[in-house]
Amino acid sequence: MISFEAFKSNLKQVKSRIDTACDAADRAVDSVQLLPVTKNHPLDAVLYAARAGLTAVGENRVQEASEKHAQYMGEVRWELIGHLQSNKAKDAVAMFDRVQSVDSLKLLNRLNRCAEQAGKSLSILLQCNTGADPNKHGFSVAEMKVALETAVAAEFLQVDGLMTIAPLDDDLDVAKASFEGLRDLRDRLSAEYKLPLTELSMGMTGDLEVAIAAGSTQIRVGTALYGIREL
Ligand SMILES: *Cc1c(COP(=O)(O)O)cnc(C)c1O
């Protein structure tokens, strides 16, 4: 695990990348939120984020997150960004403030029931595989209307917007197409269903600039903040 000093220096660099990208896209710097991704890093990763004034962390597995959550639950908000199996939905609802990785109707319905049982309203994003990458989870673009209708009808879920992960590819044009695809999809769904769907969670260490240019409101960054994942 890197030192807190090294983390702060990394954070400064990431913030400068965000500033530059926002400038280039003629966007306000505070229109993009930075979500530090603490997955596969030790407990201290959460502490570093909180100490630096970041208000949420992203984790991709319920099991791993539960240890960190037990230690630091009140310090930050918790966002689930990795694929969730329906049988872990109850634990996820108990722990996370938002689930970004809602990628099937089955999971959607299960989360709604668990949120009802827990007596809470759960914020979610719908994950769309806009890059049609066979290795990525998410609804296909064609499935998104039904997904959104189901989510809106789910009484205990609150849909904040959409999330995507670009296909693993060195070509930034591939990421760009996938991010622009998510933004266009959001614009269409938002107009058709008269819903704000303000959150567009897209962009990571390698492609955050193209994501910001395409309209990202939240970038999820691990490596650029914490270095290579260890666990
Ligand atoms: C791991 C992960 C990230 C962070 O990736 P980096 O390339 O390390 O910034 C972002 N989003 C999701 C869904 C992830 O699983």
Q: What is the pLDDT of residues 159-169, one digit of tens each?
A: 999 999 999 88
| pLDDT in the model for residue 68 | 97
Pocket residues: Cβ below 6 A from ligand 1: 37, 39, 60, 81-82, 165, 204-206, 220-224
Atom of ligand 1 nearest to the CA of 226: 8
Q: What is the DSSP letter of 98?
A: E
The pTM for the full model equals: 0.97
Distance 222 CA to ligand 1 centre (A): 6
Residue nearest to atom 12 of ligand 1 (CA): 81
Q: Is 184 helix (H, G, I), strand (E, B) or coil?
A: helix
Q: Which of 37, 38, 165, 200 has most ligand 1 atoms within 8 Å of its beta carbon, as the pocket-test mutant?
A: 37
Q: Residue 158 contacts by C-beta under 8 Å, 6 or more apart in sequence?
A: 121, 122, 123, 124
Atom of ligand 1 nearest to the CA of 221: 9
pLDDT tens for each residue of 31-89: 999 999 999 999 999 999 999 999 999 999 999 999 999 999 999 999 999 999 999 99
**Residue 56, exposed/middle/buried by CB under 10 A (0-12, 13-18, 19+)?**
middle
Q: Determine the Cα–Cα distance for residues 41 and 229; give it in Å rounded to an integer.
A: 6
Distance 194 CA to ligand 1 centre (A): 31
Atom of ligand 1 nearest to the CA of 37: 4
| pLDDT in the model for residue 230 | 79
Residue nearest to atom 7 of ligand 1 (CA): 205
| pLDDT in the model for residue 42 | 95
Distance 119 CA to ligand 1 centre (A): 30
Q: Which of 179, 182, 167 is nearest to 133 (CA)?
A: 167
Half-sphere exposure in the Cβ direction for 9 (13 Å, CA): 6
Atom of ligand 1 nearest to the CA of 220: 10
| C-alpha to C-alpha distances, 195 to 31, 189, 190, nearest whole angstrom | 19, 8, 5
Q: Determine the Cα–Cα distance for residues 104 and 128; give it in Å rounded to an integer.
A: 10
pLDDT tens for each residue of 98-112: 999 999 999 999 999
Alpha helix (H) ranges present in the chain?
4-24, 44-51, 62-72, 89-95, 105-118, 144-153, 172-193, 208-213, 223-226
Structure tokens at 162: 């959409």
| pLDDT in the model for residue 106 | 98
The count of other CB atoms within 10 Å of the CB of residue 143 is: 16
Single-letter code of the amino acid located at 2: I
Structure tokens at 201: 């969670």
Q: What domains does the chain contain, in order, with CATH numbers?
A: 4-15+32-226 (3.20.20.10)
The count of other CB atoms within 10 Å of the CB of residue 114 is: 20
User: Does the pLDDT of residue 170 top 90, yes or no?
Assistant: no
User: Does the pLDDT of residue 137 top 80, yes or no?
Assistant: yes
Q: What is the DSSP letter of 199?
A: E
Bridge partners of 162, per DSSP, are 126, 200
Q: Residue 182 contacts by C-beta under 8 Å, 6 or more apart in sequence?
A: 128, 130, 162, 163, 164, 200, 202, 214
* Beta pairing, strands 77-80 & 98-102: parallel
Residue nearest to atom 6 of ligand 1 (CA): 222
Atom of ligand 1 nearest to the CA of 204: 9
